[in-house]
Structure 1
Amino acid sequence: MIGLENAGSGLRRQYHFRPSPNGFYAWDVSRLIRLSKGSPVVEVPLSEIAELDELWWFQTADDRPTPRSLAQHFDLTENADPSFPIILCPHGRVMDGMHRIVKALVSGADTIDAVRLREMPPPDYTDVQPADLSY
């Protein structure tokens, strides 16, 4: 297993969000990392990552693509550690690692290391807004 042994120890608190009937489902990324341990690492072509052409960040009215928020994403992308594989759900959708994906894209890479969860875990939170969670 490449990279995940030490993941989570120094990472900022973060969540993966997907729309729910009254807000968002949210998964704690630290839990996703624990669930993915032991999964085989595979190379995934960047061309297969649909989220690169979808609205990923800035999904709420209070989270807008201002120059400041873009600069924060630039910084997170620049400092993203590509030694950790991204995490995909069982259907191949990204659950963690978009800054690493963008870093790979900008650097001219064609693939990125990934692990795929065997089963979709239940969300940690249902019908929440990102601002409702602790970071």
Structure 2
Amino acid sequence: MNLRPQYHLRPSPQGLLAWDVRKLIALAAQQQIQPRWVALSDITELDQRYWFSEPGDEPTPRAIAEHLKLVEAADTAYPILLDAEGRLMDGMHRAVKRLVQGHTDIWALQLHSTPAPDFVGADPENLPYDD
């Protein structure tokens, strides 16, 4: 699978933390993590503010429509990625698609340990996206 550059972002006292999702997927493959079914009810991010959490990032109808396109296009054959504590690091559009379709679980990989972020105090606008 040829994945576009994308990042998992989390706020922290040190500023925004960013992980390169491609590196996370490679780590899961390197660790030979086997996918397993995870209950959607265990994915806490489904009940939290997720896509529209940055200042100026408003859930306008146009922005929601863009996410709807991504949800529709999401391929749920690929497992989502969870950190060692079970927090979602990649795959929200796939999780939403399964939820909308009425499923109660999703195929997932869970890292054995959560790696250090690739960027600390990151500005999402300045992360490298041309690869």
Task: State the TM-score, normalizing by the size of structure 1.
Answer: 0.89
Query: What's the counterpart of residue 12 of structure 1?
Result: 4
Shift of 1:22: 4.6
Amino acid at match of 2:72: E
RMSD: 1.1
Which ranges of structure 2 fall in alignment gaps of 5 or more residues? Answer: none
Query: What's the counterpart of residue 109 of structure 2?
Result: 115
Query: What's the counterpart of residue 40 of structure 1?
Result: 34
Q: Runs ≥4 in structure 1, deviation > 6 angstroms?
A: none
Q: How does 1:1-135 map to 2 (within 5 A)?
A: 6=1, 9=2, 11-37=3-29, 38-135=32-129
Shift of 1:13: 1.8
Contact map agreement 1:22 1:128 (CA 8 A) in 2: no
Per-residue CA distance 1:28-56 (angstroms, 9 max, x = gap): 00001101111011100111111110011
Instruction: Please state whether the residue corresponding to 1:20 is helix, strand or coil.
Output: coil
Per-residue CA distance 1:76-98 (angstroms, 9 max, x = gap): 10001111100000000000000
Amino acid at match of 1:40: Q
Shift of 1:129: 2.1
Shift of 1:21: 2.4
Shift of 1:117: 0.4
Task: State the TM-score, normalizing by the size of structure 2.
Answer: 0.92
Distance in 2 of aligned mates of 1:35 and 1:121: 9
Which ranges of structure 1 fall in alignment gaps of 5 or more residues? Answer: 1-5
Distance in 2 of aligned mates of 1:77 and 1:14: 16
Per-residue CA distance 1:49-74 (angstroms, 9 max, x = gap): 11110011111112111111111100
Distance in 2 of aligned mates of 1:19 and 1:134: 19
